[in-house]
């Protein structure tokens, strides 16, 4: 039996540069991880099946599950003949812009690597994982990174800052594909370079001053509650509030625990699903 933790990610930036010929968007994003985790266990089987178990009725337990696809790709690539039981204890909200599915897939690449004693380097697993989703290579490392290309080119960065993160998830799920399809790329000044610079200098004020997500206005146009949550979070004391990924989750950053408790309590008044966690990075 082997266990892996799969943390949620947040976007400190999401610059959309242009639409590519393969219909993906060229992006530049600073992403980091937060202490809100799915837990996965991996156990070898005697036959060649991949069995996914999860108590969450909204998570697929067949080949649609990204963890299933990751296990199948590991078996094919490394000629593994025996299957695996994967139990997913789901805590990351689904279709929320927090990369829960991608992080479960990434944990499966790491988990199968250990379970079968393959000792493949993370770089190799990250490269392999890109064929299943743009966010998965980042999640294989699970740290802080500048991600370019369609998101799959990962350059690791040091932890940007110590901070508390308050997450507020409206009771809607958002399709990443739909949000990208309504985007006009290249409309905004890119922010990632400035956030990288501030993060490298350990400059918290610089990080929050330059944080920006180009998908925010697209998602907020369809779901006005996103804008409202951002305004409420900043009014209740967050240093900066912003949407993560394609949304609809909104997160706020603060430095002091007392301030974090205050923002958390205020947000619970206007949103059912609120979390107060540490930035992991």
Ligand X SMILES: C[C@@](CO)(OP(=O)(O)O)[C@H](O)COP(=O)(O)OP(=O)(O)OC[C@H]1O[C@@H](n2ccc(N)nc2=O)[C@H](O)[C@@H]1O
Q: Which of 15, 38, 104, 135 is catalytic?
A: 135
Total residues in contact with ligand X, by rule CB under 6 A: 19
**Which of 83, 245, 248, 252 lies at the binding interface for ligand X (CB under 6 A)?**
245
Q: Which two tokens stand for residue 227?
A: 């804008």
- Binding partner of residue 65 among ligand ADP, ligand X, none, CB under 5 to 8 Å per kind? ligand ADP
> Is the Cβ of residue 24 or residue 270 nearer to ligand X in the bound state?
24
Least distance from C-beta 64 to ligand ADP, angstroms?
Answer: 6
- Was 248 annotated as part of a binding site? no
Q: Does 102 bind ligand ADP (CB under 6 A)?
A: yes
38 tagged catalytic: no
135 tagged catalytic: yes
H/E stretch holding 261:
helix 257-268
Looking at residue 102, the DSSP 8-state letter turns out to be H
Pairing of strands 144-148, 153-157: antiparallel
Total residues in contact with ligand ADP, by rule CB under 6 A: 20
- Binding partner of residue 278 among ligand ADP, ligand X, none, CB under 5 to 8 Å per kind? none
Question: CA gyration radius for the chain?
Answer: 18
Position with the least CB separation from ligand X:
245
Q: Does 170 bind ligand X (CB under 6 A)?
A: no
Cβ contacts of 30 within 8 Å, gap of 6 or more: 11, 12, 13, 144, 145, 146, 147, 157, 160, 192, 195, 196, 199
Task: Please give the Cα distance from 241 to 108 (Å, whole number).
Answer: 31
Reduce the DSSP state of residue 217 to 3 states and report it: helix
Contact track, ligand ADP, 61-90, x by CB under 6 A: ---xxxx--------------------x--
* Composition of the chain by helix, strand, coil, percent to 5: 35, 30, 35
Binding residues for ATP: 93-103
Footprint on this chain of ligand ADP (rule: CB under 6 A): 59-60, 64-67, 88, 94-102, 104, 176, 245-246
């Amino acid at each position: 039996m082997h266990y892996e933790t799969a943390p949620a990610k947040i976007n400190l930036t999401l610059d959309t540069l242009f639409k590519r010929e393969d219909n993906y968007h060229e992006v530049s994003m600073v992403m980091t991880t937060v202490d809100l985790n799915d837990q996965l266990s991996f156990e070898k089987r005697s036959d060649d099946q991949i069995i996914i178990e999860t108590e969450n009725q909204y998570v697929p337990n067949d080949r649609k599950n990204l963890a299933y696809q990751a296990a199948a790709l590991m078996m094919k690539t490394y000629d593994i003949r025996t299957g695996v039981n994967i139990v997913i204890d789901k805590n990351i909200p689904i279709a929320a812009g927090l990369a829960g599915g991608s992080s479960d897939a990434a944990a499966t690449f790491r988990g199968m690597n250990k379970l079968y004693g393959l000792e493949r380097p993370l770089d190799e697993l990250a490269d392999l994982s890109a064929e299943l989703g743009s966010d998965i290579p980042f999640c294989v490392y699970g740290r802080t990174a500048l991600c370019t290309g369609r998101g799959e080119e990962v350059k690791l960065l040091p932890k940007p800052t110590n901070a508390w993160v308050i997450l507020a998830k409206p009771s809607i799920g958002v399709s990443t594909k739909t949000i990208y399809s309504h985007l006009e790329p290249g409309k905004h000044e890119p922010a990632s370079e400035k956030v990288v610079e501030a993060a490298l200098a350990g400059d918290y004020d610089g990080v929050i001053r330059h944080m920006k997500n180009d998908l925010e206005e697209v998602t907020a146009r369809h779901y006005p509650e996103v804008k409202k949550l951002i305004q409420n979070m900043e009014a209740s004391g967050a240093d900066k509030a912003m949407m993560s990924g394609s949304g609809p989750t909104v997160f706020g950053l603060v430095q002091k625990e007392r301030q974090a408790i205050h923002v958390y309590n205020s947000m619970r008044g206007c949103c059912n699903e609120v979390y107060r966690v540490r930035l992991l990075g």
